[in-house]
Amino acid sequence: MRHYQVNRPEETAMRRLLQANPLNPTGMILRLAWLQGLLRDEITNLTWEQVSFLDHQIELPDRNVPLCNEMDAYLRQMHDRWGSLSEYVVFSERYKKPMQPQAISRIARRALDSVGQTEVRLLDLRHDYVIRNLEEHGWSYVAHVTGIEVRALQAHFTPYVAAAQKTARQEPPQIDELKLWKLLQAEKDSSVGLAIWLTWQEGLSGGEIISLTWDQVDLGENVLRLPDRTVPLGNTVRRMLLDRQADRTLNEHVFLSSRAKKPVDLPRLSSLVRSALIRGGLDGVTLRDLLISGARTREETAIVEWIRRKGTISRGETMDLLGVTKVAAYNRLRRMADEKKLVRVGGKYYLPGTVVPPEEQSAAIRAYLEKEGFAYRQDVAEMLHIQSRQCTVILKRMVDQGELVQVRQRYYLKEA
């Protein structure tokens, strides 16, 4: 299969172009290609009837393309300005007719040349849209919004996204829970609010949300019966589902579009959630980020509750508690320790404030011996609030370093 040669535009140059062309055909053409990934013929034939402001998407014959927030606002402004002049989104102001494909190419070529993007073609703007979305959403999503089959995407674009995927962030952004809570209160009666609750609090993925049917909702037992697990329902989610029960007569799916009352697809759900998150001041947060963050919060809560009951937790106990591998259990405990949510002493993890941290142990032992004169291992364990056998390594190290003297089972400060 032929290899695509993609000449990606410089983002700063594109931003200068869009800023310089806010209310003219040039700005519209560049935005439709670069921000929405439309082909030249699709730009030529696009009508205002295909722009659904209610569903925030462009409805093409073979696919629906979710509108990014920037493009949604821009198209609303341009519809107010141009909508009464022509049914076409891009048209010749002089002849009041749809603009020909060759004219669209010439306009794009002239604009790109003006900011030094001489190697970039109109088609490259679409390709840049494809690559950006592959980096953020993956193959299935991009196949859906571009109409390109996954195999073709992988054949043409793998070289351009491979490097970016290696360096893509593995950690989700820090979620501002106060902002998220305020957003959830504002969206408490909407489909977006329900989707966020199901992801963040109940651990459902985007695919599970759009596939959720009413026969999986058991409000009598307060659970969702998914194909691979049963999910207990919180009070808020239960109430929101009760409020939506009228939709059961319209469709078996829980999530329906507001206008057509048909099942919502994943690109549309992701777009709606992202728009709501941006409105709530949570820029850069995606549905997947909420899923990861919510799962992490639930795991950390389980670990903390275990330690409160047992006093400490080990890697093996974490494996059993969370049902994860040894490496995964270690990574979770290490992250919590790095974030000061846990204190590690040897192979055990404690809650902060319940144990003397490792960096303070030697000083605490010296202070104790200066006051008491000597100590047994159990005395030190009680003073440090750790297990007796954990003291063996600590005391041996201090003896080997010449800080302490051991006489049988007693430990003394070494005389100066």
Q: What is the pLDDT of residues 349-370, one digit of tens each?
A: 999 989 888 888 899 999 999 8
Question: C-alpha angle with apex 183: 52 to 221, nearest 5 degrees?
Answer: 95
* pLDDT-based confidence at residue 64 (cuts at 50, 70, 90): confident
For the chain, domains (ranges, CATH) are 11-167 (1.10.443.10), 177-289 (1.10.443.10), 292-350 (1.10.10.10), 358-413 (1.10.10)
Q: How far apart are CA 250 and CA 266, in angstroms?
A: 20
> pLDDT (tens digit, 9 = 90+) per residue, 158-195?
777 765 454 444 556 678 888 888 988 888 888 888 88
Q: Using one digit for the tens of pLDDT, what is the confidence trace for 40-54?
A: 999 999 999 999 888
Range in 109-123, 148-162, 343-357 the model is least confident about? 148-162
Q: Where are any strands of DSSP class E within 93-248?
A: 97-98, 217-218, 223-225, 230-232
Nearest to 156 by CA among 20, 13, 263, 2: 2
Instruction: Decide if 280 contacts 182 (C-beta within 8 A).
Output: yes
Q: Copy the structure tokens of residue 374.
A: 């000597």
Between CA 233 and CA 8 the distance in angstroms is 46
pTM over 0.75: no
Alpha carbons 148 and 410: distance in angstroms, whole number: 75
Picking from 14-28, 108-122, 282-296, 360-374, which range would have the lowest pLDDT averaged per residue? 282-296
Quick one: pLDDT at residue 171? 56
Q: At what angle do helices 25-34 and 101-114 cross, to 10 degrees?
A: 90
For the segment 340-354, the average pLDDT, to the nearest whole number, is 89
- The letter for the amino acid at 192 is V
Average pLDDT in the chain: 85
- Taken in order 255, 258, 261, 262, the sign of the CA dihedral is negative
Cα distances (Å, whole numbers) of residue 179 to 176, 185, 270, 298, 384: 5, 10, 19, 19, 39
